[in-house]
Structure 1
């Protein structure tokens, strides 16, 4: 166990993770079989942005940066044209979370958002627990509120299982038949279409180099589940494989095409730049409050928001 003013580390022999209080972020994740981190990050910690952080309280995009909750209109900060991405510039990815537990193989963070914070109602108490379980990293996120609000939190690491190079050499398998098409503003149109339109084949491993540009929500299920279900499997050119299981109904897949090269930075994983990593983000469907057919992201007083994602890493044995 290692702790400094800037980051915390946990390990179990197979995996070692570095975590940051800012954004409750996963800054690095090492497997004993690979010398570099399997997620993008910087040696000196956070440099802003969403890399490795928890985003929310409402992840992804909200059209018009406004929602109506129980008859009252709530204005959120527009930070992507007239729309809102990841709850604005002061979302939970920017906050310094309190460390409430730290053991050899787990860390728990906590954050309180006051009524009106991030443009939404309710005093919201959020906890996030990272725990290493054999060759897996488990993330449990919980939230409560004292009045009806919206909660859709997403974990936003960028994966590169080789620890270097271009992720378009990876293969991706998704456990979804459909996705949400988007318009020029990247907001979902409300329709669903086959993942084949993205160059993916459901439940079949596909080379990322053959896929279309990816920044879309894949529809895993019509609602959040109490039980884990498979979401995706990513395989690197070095035979390292990541399997993701989650309780969430959606998986946002972003191929990292717009990642900027950060000069003069020491990286824990691949050097940051276009296609240096792929984001695979379990979450609710984007812009859900504006689409009656989407899974609800409303959270009411007395109810508990619970999200679990399991990231399992395995080095494949090649005959």
Structure 2
């Protein structure tokens, strides 16, 4: 029988509000710890092929680093995951301006985005439920958005993330989960073997904004349709790799969007740990930790260059300015709903 979700105090925000940590455990002994600040997945303890457990999530054991220069470790992202060019878009004949927080562009909902807010939390059976109301005009976005995230831990060692949202005005919505993983629980991630079921990527310019086209992965360093080590081609002479400083691209997933399907699989050969991502989203942003530099540390280890990778299920970057991309506009009377699963296992 699955253990109930445990709740405990974690720390207090500068304004005195209490941040809680929730511990989810299954019968196999897998443990996940989640904060109601930003919905942050702070710890993921899973076994290797010998049954030895380790924490495979990058993060911190105290509050202050999450409030400082954290690169979205473990956090929920909104209203819009990824970049919006120049922090501008037009919707129904009206122009909107968002704060620019990533070079020339708006990134991950601004500052603060959903990653820095304290979500209302409750436990419903085996689910941790987090709610947040983003008021009309917050970070420049139109409409009051009511967002809900439901976390659960399955007996199959899958972290299930279910998003839903409604709005009283038309608004862009692209919610995602931004955990950084290292299945070896240390060192770099270049030896991790990655598969992504995608025939195309969304190519970007030097400012990391989509060109508006799709690019086939065949014959490029982005072809992960069969497993390849992340580091095998990461330093190849390739324009897209130069733009991203490595991999920092949205992969266009095969299969029908809306269907929960296997999008990516990562295996770490030394430990035998495996991560599989299942999602309903049309894309997944694969990021190879190119901006980690060793200046951050937590939970007894530092986080140097390329010591973590992200698989962020989402719609495409800059979609509000790209009419050919899948729609990201949520309108009154509609419900935004999407599910992703991060399933862990091990093999010889």
- Cα contact 1:60–1:286 (8 A) shared by 2: yes
In structure 2, C-alpha distance between the alignment counterparts of 1:229 and 1:313, rounded to whole Å: 15
Encode CA deviations 1:25-75: one digit per residue, 9 max, x unaligned: 111111143432111111224524311001110110000101111111111
Q: How does 1:133-148 map to 2 (within 5 A)?
A: 133-134=154-155, 135-148=157-170
> How far apart, in 2, do the equivalents of 1:5 and 1:115 lie?
31
**Unpaired segments ≥5 residues, structure 2:** 11-20, 235-245
1:220, CA displacement in angstroms? 0.9
CA distance in 2, matches of 1:202, 1:142: 30
Matched, 1:113 2:134: yes
Q: 2:285 aligns with which of 249, 252, 268?
A: 252
- SS at 1:36 equivalent: strand
Counterpart CA distance in 1 for 2:153 and 2:129 is 12
Distance 1:47 1:136 in 2: 25
Deviations along 1:249-271, one digit per CA (max 9) or x if unpaired, are 010011002113245x4427x63
Aligned match for 1:171, one of 172, 193, 205: 193
Provide the rounded CA distance (Å) in 2 between the counterparts of 1:74 and 1:266: 38
- Which residue in 1 is equivalent to 2:238? none
Q: 1:128-174 deviations in whole A, cap 9, x for unaligned?
A: 11101111111001110011111001110001111111100100000
Alignment of 1:8 with 2:12, yes or no, is: no
Q: Distance in 1 between matches of 2:118 and 2:164?
A: 17
Which of 35, 38, 43 is the matching residue for 2:53? 35
Matched positions, count? 313
What RMSD in Å do the two structures reach over aligned CA positions? 1.7
1:33-112 map, 5 Å: 33-45=51-63, 47-48=66-67, 49=70, 50-101=72-123, 103=125, 105-112=126-133
Which one of 265, 271, 274 corresponds to residue 233 of structure 1?
265
Instruction: Find 1:301's aligned residue among 332, 335, 338.
Output: 332
- Structure 1: gaps of 5 or more residues: none
